[in-house]
DNA sequence: CGTGCGCTTGACTTTTTTCAATAAAGGTGG
DNA sequence: CCACCTTTATTGAAAAAAGTCAAGCGCACG
């Protein structure tokens, strides 16, 4: 069956026996969201979670005056919105589709029943949540203990690493959204990019492309051992 | 058996059948840490997690220049250090005993085996981790989107609520540690407490005691609808 | 071909931190 | 019980980091 096949490629369900994939496939509900559409809002009750089949979703918080802190950008194969499944409470953040997005929606009760019969699913989910906790500790550390240039530098290295250490970095998000990830605003990000460019640490010609020119300098910035003029 | 009885009072294991409590009791190892002692350091490999039987532990990150961001302060009955159990990676933060502390240490492999045979333990742990994720989203929101006075006000309300809405608040931590929780430094916290006192929103006479005088003002501060002069 | 959104830059303000000095509190050992 | 010493808290003045407001540019999209 089509859905079962899709599910079999999802890391969360790696190694799951075919019979359980079938069970999951029967409980999954296909959903579709247009670019910019809300998947869920903070405070909504959560009756299940989503797994992205195509597209991208940003999970974020906002302040009254409109500043945005992005918590995650989720891509194909990634689950999101699981927290209320296990707490029984409401969504702690917003989620919007960044592009046209298809998801499989797994209803809460069905999923919990699956866990009861198949503990390996529980272990996978525990791993996912633990990874996410680890990710949040890094974000908290960034926001609290490091300045924006260091956060940006660390982000560039992270993206570079994800691309086998390439110097050319393709942010596949707008700089406004990058600011939202780094916990700052577009103006500040723009200024810091300009300073890094002037010091020949990076080149930032094109809109969504940055090139690392002086990797050592970027690493020192990320480690807080160097500061911009 | 003594340990099984202790375990039966821990929220994580509520409703667990006696036979599994016995299993847990057999795998648990009693540990003791003196005030100020390190329980684990960031980067240490994690071979299991702790449950506090007596005492308190702070889990935190530090910056090269010594600033500290507290992630949690854990008390009796609370588990901590579980992330590496499920990610297989290293501890993402430090943990120090704030007071003399006894814990039960649950080895990773034993616990994972228990989960395989008893999924309700998995569901409890999923709930704990989800709660913690939710808590982190609040901290991230605070650090990124709110100023220190708003964070402090929200913290006071949170503690007050935890004490049945009492106006008298007993921080049972030092103000330096409170600053670490709020993501600031003692000087800044001290100044903000002084400003709030001058505006008669709180009284902050004693060392670890704060009294809410004008609850409405505190609520408005927390909501960002009011600012200090 | 315009309109709008994303991005940049400048000038200014606010918030927070840094550095330094002092005061008060708490625990320890004589 | 007191003196001492370390830790904790407070306050001032100055600096730095980041945010606000406003203006302008350019590219994309309708």
| Side-chain half-sphere exposure of B110, counting CA atoms within 13 A | 16
Give tens-digit pLDDT for A75-94: 999 999 999 999 999 999 99
Closest CA to A85 of A34, A131, A51, A134: A51
Domains, chain A, with CATH or none: 3-134 (2.60.120.10), 146-222 (1.10.10.10)
The C-alpha atoms of residue A90 and residue B2 are separated, in whole angstroms, by: 38
Closest CA to B28 of B104, B111, B101: B104
Instruction: Indicate which of A44, A72, A144, A147 best probes the interface with B, i.e. most B CBs within 10 Å of its own CB.
Output: A144
The C-alpha atoms of residue A130 and residue B129 are separated, in whole angstroms, by: 7
The token pair that represents A91 in the structure block: 């969504």
Residues forming beta bridges with residue A80, ordered by sequence position: A50
| A28 neighbors A104 (Cβ within 8 angstroms) | yes
Instruction: Indicate which of B129, B224, B226 best probes the interface with A, i.e. most A CBs within 10 Å of its own CB.
Output: B129
Give tens-digit pLDDT for B85-130: 999 999 999 999 999 999 999 999 999 999 999 999 999 999 999 9
Contact assignment for A115 to B133 by CB distance below 8 Å: no
Going by pLDDT thresholds of 50, 70 and 90, the confidence category of residue A3 is confident
Chain B hits for A141, CB-CB cut-off 8 Å, are 61, 63, 69
The C-alpha atoms of residue A10 and residue A101 are separated, in whole angstroms, by: 16
Contact assignment for B115 to A116 by CB distance below 8 Å: no
Contact assignment for B67 to A145 by CB distance below 8 Å: yes
Going by pLDDT thresholds of 50, 70 and 90, the confidence category of residue A1 is low
Contact assignment for B92 to A134 by CB distance below 8 Å: yes
The C-alpha atoms of residue A196 and residue A214 are separated, in whole angstroms, by: 10
Q: Which residue of B has its CA nearest to A92?
A: B134
Residue percentage of chain B with pLDDT more than 90: 89
Residue scoring higher pLDDT (B64 or A159): A159
Work out the minimum CA distance from B151 to partner chain A, whole angstroms. 13
Residue percentage of chain A with pLDDT more than 70: 99
Which residue bears the tokens 């927290």? A83
Q: According to the model, what pLDDT value does residue B65 have?
A: 87
Query: Which positions of chain C lie under 7 Å from any protein Cβ?
Result: 6-11, 15-20, 25-26
Query: Which positions of chain D lie under 7 Å from any protein Cβ?
Result: 8-13, 17-22
Q: Count other C-beta atoms under 10 Å from residue A221's C-beta.
A: 27
Chain A hits for B136, CB-CB cut-off 8 Å, are 133, 136-137, 140
| N-term to C-term CA, chain B | 59
Region class of B183: left (phi > 0), else alpha (psi between -120 and 50), else beta: left
Instruction: Go through chain A and tell me how many residues it has.
Output: 229
Q: What is the mean pLDDT of residues A70-79?
A: 96
Q: What is the mean pLDDT of residues B12-20?
A: 90
pLDDT value at B216 more than 90: yes
Give tens-digit pLDDT for B70-90: 999 999 999 999 999 999 999
The C-alpha atoms of residue A80 and residue A224 are separated, in whole angstroms, by: 32
| A186 neighbors A178 (Cβ within 8 angstroms) | no
**For chain A, what percentages of helix, strand and coil (3-state, to nearest 5) are there?**
45, 25, 30
pLDDT value at B190 more than 80: yes
pLDDT value at B137 more than 80: yes
Q: How many separate helices (H) and strands (E) can be counted in chain B?
A: 9, 11
| Side-chain half-sphere exposure of A121, counting CA atoms within 13 A | 24
By C-alpha to C1' distance, D18 is nearest to A188
Give tens-digit pLDDT for A180-223: 999 999 999 999 999 999 999 999 876 789 999 999 999 999 99
Helix (H) or strand (E) holding A52: strand A48-54
Q: According to the model, what pLDDT value does residue A216 have?
A: 97
Closest nt to residue B186, judged CA to C1': D9
Burial of B112 (0-12, 13-18, 19+ CB in 10 A): middle
Contact assignment for A69 to B129 by CB distance below 8 Å: no
Q: According to the model, what pLDDT value does residue A69 have?
A: 98
Contact assignment for A143 to B144 by CB distance below 8 Å: yes
Across chain A, mean pLDDT equals 95
Closest CA to A100 of A54, A143, A67: A54
Q: What is the mean pLDDT of residues A140-153?
A: 98
Going by pLDDT thresholds of 50, 70 and 90, the confidence category of residue A97 is very high
Q: According to the model, what pLDDT value does residue B205 have?
A: 75
Q: According to the model, what pLDDT value does residue B204 have?
A: 86
Closest nt to residue B146, judged CA to C1': C15
The token pair that represents B132 in the structure block: 């913690």
The C-alpha atoms of residue A44 and residue B217 are separated, in whole angstroms, by: 28
Chain A hits for B63, CB-CB cut-off 8 Å, are 141, 145-146, 224
CA B51 to C1' D5, whole Å: 36
Choose the closest CB to B133 out of A69, A120, A136. A136
Going by pLDDT thresholds of 50, 70 and 90, the confidence category of residue B6 is confident
Closest CA to B87 of A217, A98, A134: A134
Closest nt to residue A207, judged CA to C1': C7
pLDDT value at B1 more than 70: no
Closest nt to residue A173, judged CA to C1': C6
Residues forming beta bridges with residue B31, ordered by sequence position: B103
3-state secondary structure of B212: strand
Q: What is the mean pLDDT of residues A139-154?
A: 98
Instruction: Go through chain B and tell me how many residues it has.
Output: 229
| A137 neighbors B71 (Cβ within 8 angstroms) | yes
- Chain B residues 148-187, Cβ below 7 A from strand D: 174-176, 186-187
Q: According to the model, what pLDDT value does residue B206 have?
A: 67
Q: What is the mean pLDDT of residues B48-69?
A: 95
Which residue bears the tokens 């800044």? B188
A7-21, A68-82, A128-142, B150-164: the lowest-pLDDT one: A7-21
């Amino acid at each position: 069956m089509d859905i079962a096949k899709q599910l079999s490629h999802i890391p969360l369900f790696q190694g799951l026996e075919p019979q359980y994939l079938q069970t999951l496939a029967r409980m999954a509900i296909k959903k579709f969201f247009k670019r910019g559409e809300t998947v869920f809002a903070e405070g909504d009750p959560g009756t299940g979670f989503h797994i992205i089949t195509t597209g991208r979703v940003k999970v974020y918080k906002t302040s009254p005056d409109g500043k945005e802190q992005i918590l995650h950008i989720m891509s194909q194969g990634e689950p999101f919105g699981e927290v209320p499944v296990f707490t029984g409470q409401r969504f702690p953040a917003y989620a919007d589709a960044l592009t046209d997005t298809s998801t499989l929606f797994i209803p809460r009760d069905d999923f919990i029943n699956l866990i009861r019969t198949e503990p390996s699913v529980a272990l996978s989910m525990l791993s996912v949540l633990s990874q996410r906790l680890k990710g949040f500790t890094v974000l908290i550390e960034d926001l609290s203990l490091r300045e924006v240039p260091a956060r940006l530098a660390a982000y560039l290295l992270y993206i570079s690493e994800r691309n086998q250490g390439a110097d050319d970095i393709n942010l596949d998000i707008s700089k406004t959204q990058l600011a939202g990830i780094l916990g700052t605003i577009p103006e500040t990000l723009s200024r810091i990019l300009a300073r890094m460019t002037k010091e020949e640490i990076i080149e930032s010609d094109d809109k969504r492309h940055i090139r690392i020119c002086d990797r050592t300098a970027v690493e020192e910035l990320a480690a807080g051992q160097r500061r911009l003029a």
